[in-house]
Amino acid sequence: MAFDLNKLVLGTPHGVPSAQKLWLYYAGADTIATVNTANYFLDASRLLSLYDVILVTSGIGGTPAMNFVYVNQVTVDTSIDVTDGLAITATDTD
């Protein structure tokens, strides 16, 4: 798959222009290894700012995976990169 701008949602709208934002992104079957590839988010380079955080949800075979990444490099319309991702793990013992 490829990045889908329609699946990127601003999670923290606020009026502070220089503050980082939290975004939510549903990557579908794309793995975190695909999502954290340079320029995956290029179509969103006009929306995303340096150090914005993205909560990435992906799922293969019905098993969801969640990771936090943040924008560590962005040049509008030219390049964008995010960190490798921090996996969010959870257990449900009941």
> Hey, what are 28's tokens?
């579908």
Q: What share of the chain in percent tops pLDDT 70? A: 99
Domain ranges of the chain: 21-41+62-68
Cβ–Cβ < 8 Å for 40, 5: no
Q: Which tens digits make up the pLDDT trace of 10-49?
A: 998 777 878 899 999 999 999 999 999 999 999 999 999 9
pTM: 0.91
HSE-up (13 A, CA, CB side) for residue 63 = 5
Task: Say if residues 51 and 20 touch (Cβ distance below 8 Å).
Answer: yes
Residue 7 is predicted with a pLDDT of 97
| Separation CA 48–CA 29 (nearest Å) | 22
Note the pLDDT of residue 10. 96
Q: What is the pLDDT of residue 15?
A: 77
Is the predicted pLDDT of residue 84 greater than 90, yes or no?
Answer: yes
Which amino acid belongs to residue 29?
A
Task: Tell how many helices (H) and how many strands (E) occur in the chain.
Answer: 1, 6
Give the model's pLDDT for residue 90. Answer: 81
